[in-house]
Amino acid sequence: MTGDLAIKTAIVTGGGSGVGAELARSLASKGVTVFVAGRRVAQLEAVAAENDLIFPVAVDVADQASVEGLIQTVVEQAGAPDLVIANAGMAESAPFTRTTLDAWQKNMDVNLTGTFHTFQQALRVMDVTKPARLIAIASTAALKGYGYVAPYCAAKHGVVGLVRALAAEFARSALTVNAICPGFTDTPMLEQSIANIAQKTGMSPDAARASLAKINPQNRFITPREIAETVLWLCSEHAGSITGQAISVSGGEI
């Protein structure tokens, strides 16, 4: 055990920036060994350079063999993980009638199938007789609909369904399975969304930013640290009865 945390070895996909990087920093600060995984190796290495307990591993979560390789690397270097966070994700916007099948499939491959691969391969090595955690970083788009991002909403709703199914399947074990559903969060992905809105609508970047912030009743963006603190709570020794939940971190939006 690490402090009051029930875990000691973690995997964070999408760990090179934004929420994933903050998750890695927060966990490592508590003494957890963290493997940050993703496609952008330089970003992963930059995060790993911040703390000796963080290690970079290249992975494509949409590819089963790649995820198998990630799990094998972790087991060889640190033993089986007891915390796995499926954080890798992507989003693109388009009117539904102009959404291509390729765009739909890409969203499913990364956001939903990527979570499936990550959790399935991890569960094949995890010891669920001891405290263990699976956490999906979903979105408020897993709990409601947003226009122009139908594939993203559908995929994230699927993630919550997967979480609830696994929580039921493993309810009699020491494993908990939860989703965290943040509202718009201050990350590089948000900056891309703001740029897209500005380009497509003619808004200034500041106006586009304000239009997204006001969706949150607190009129602000969620911080990566707030999501990390929610993860730390779920990983505490005293959170063993919290499972199958989709936890909204959204300033009251949901």
SS3 for 77?
helix
Q: Which residues contact 29 (CB under 8 A, 6 or more apart)?
A: 51
User: Cα(41)–Cα(16) distance, rounded to whole angstroms?
Assistant: 8
Q: Which residue, 110, 107, 61, is CA-closest to 84?
A: 61
Strands 132-137 and 246-249: unpaired
Residue tagged active-site, from 104, 116, 152, 221? 152
Beta bridge partners of 245: none
Q: How far apart are CA 44 and CA 254, in angstroms?
A: 32
Phi then psi for residue 134, to 5 deg, are: -115, 130
Query: 152 an active-site residue?
Result: yes
Cα diameter, the chain: 55
The label of the residue with tokens 């609830």 reads: 164
Active site residues: 152
